[in-house]
Amino acid sequence: MRIVFSATQTKVQPWLEAFRVALPQAQVQEWQPGAAPADYAVVWRPPQQLFDEQPRLKAIMNMGAGVDALLEMRTPPQAVIVRIDDGGMAVQMAEFVCHAVIRYFRELDVYERDVAQGTWSFRKPRRREEFPVGIMGLGVLGQRVAEAVAHFEFPLRGWSRTPRQVPGMRCFAGAEQFDEFLAGTRVLVCLLPLTPETEGIMNRRTLGRLMPQSYVINVARGAHLVEEDLVALLDDGHLAGATLDVFRTEPLPEGHPFWKHPKVTITPHTSARTLRDESVAQIAGKILALERGEPIAGVVDRNRGY
């Protein structure tokens, strides 16, 4: 069995060594132009030339949860596209989102600003019932985040494409229930995949439907958000704050308004990192299962886009 590996933004050698240990029967090589035909490609944002030169791949193993960039490429049509499901990312996402929700609920963002100005002032405690958290996307990550947020007893709402039942959560589904979901949400968390249906889903109209003084937490993809609409709603006071981990252009360009906006907190696409050991174990396990002809989790539906 031959496996080619191609990933940007990571050191290649430790990944190759880990795959060679996990799959001793396989020949695992970093992809180079002209490489011999392989059975599997393990990739994160690879060059198009890899797929053009590897028409016989059985499967493409994406080293992340989101496959939006991969689905924009020309890939061999028979190759199954497989994404990471959880692989240690769900708990990281739960930590990140809980931290942001609690920071807003306890007004730590306001205390941080006060302290920076040498001001000692108390704020009236908020009522949890007035702080419903609404999660868009109830998949692997959204459900784990919901479970974690539930421990802090915030009212929970969730929205997905098809109807879901999540204990302790009021669930909404589809375009027809979207506005109702938004209208009762005070903290909007985006954990949707980026697809033609979800591109620009957070815009002036939809964010304008949230409860007054709402917050936005985007940990999915930058293109879910119309950035200038968010700034307008923060500036006119409808929105009280935003925590953004992902952006239309990454790294965030110098001079972008988010860098200095007093109501925006940014992080460099780090809310849930791909972890090497967990990912190698998961991908190797799936390759072996595919070789045995067994079903695996995380197979992407190319038509659905996730």
Q: Tell me which residues touch ligand NDP (CB under 6 A).
A: 65-66, 85, 89, 137-142, 159-162, 164, 191-195, 197-198, 219-221, 245-246, 269, 271-272, 306
Tell me the backbone φ, ψ of residue 105, rounded to 5 degrees. -60, -45
Q: Is 139 in the site for ligand OXD (CB under 6 A)?
A: no
Is 86 or 229 the residue whose CB approaches ligand NDP more closely? Answer: 86
Residue 280 beta carbon to ligand OXD: minimum distance, rounded to whole angstroms? 15
Min dist CB 163 to ligand OXD, Å, is: 25
| Edge-first strand listing for the sheet containing 59-62 | 27-30, 2-7, 40-44, 59-62, 80-82
Chosen from ligand NDP, ligand OXD, none, partner binding at 195 (C-beta under 5 to 8 Å by type): ligand NDP
Looking at residues 33 to 72 of the shown chain, list those that interact with ligand OXD (rule: CB under 6 A). 64-66
Nearer to ligand NDP, 115 or 183 (CB): 183
- The answer to whether the bond into 251 is cis (omega within 30° of 0) is yes
**For ligand OXD, the closer CB: 66 or 132:** 66
Q: Which residue is nearest to ligand NDP (CB)?
A: 139
* CA separation for the pair 54, 226 (Å, rounded): 37
Secondary structure element (H or E) that encloses residue 148, with its range: helix 140-150
The site partner of 219 among ligand OXD, ligand NDP, none (C-beta below 5 to 8 Å per kind) is ligand NDP
Nearer to ligand OXD, 278 or 291 (CB): 278
- Measured from the CB of residue 245, what is the shortest distance to ligand OXD in angstroms? 9
Amino acid found at 50: L
User: Residues 195-203: contacts with CB within 8 Å, 24+ apart?
Assistant: 195/68, 195/304, 195/305, 195/306, 196/305, 197/161, 197/305, 198/224, 199/223, 199/224, 200/224, 200/225, 200/226, 201/136, 202/226, 202/229, 202/230, 203/229
What's at 129, amino acid-wise? E
Question: Which active-site residues does the annotation give?
Answer: 221, 269
Nearest-angstrom CA–CA distance, 176 and 36: 50
Per-position x/- string for 254-283, each x denoting binding to ligand OXD as judged by CB under 6 A, each - no binding: --------------------x---------
Residue nearest to ligand OXD (CB): 64
* Distance, CA of 6 to CA of 42 (rounded, Å): 6
Using the minimum distance from each CB to ligand NDP, give the nearer residue, 161 or 276: 161
CB 68 within 8 A of CB 89: no
* Min dist. Cβ of residue 31 to ligand NDP (A): 23
Contact residues toward ligand OXD (CB under 6 A) are 64-66, 274
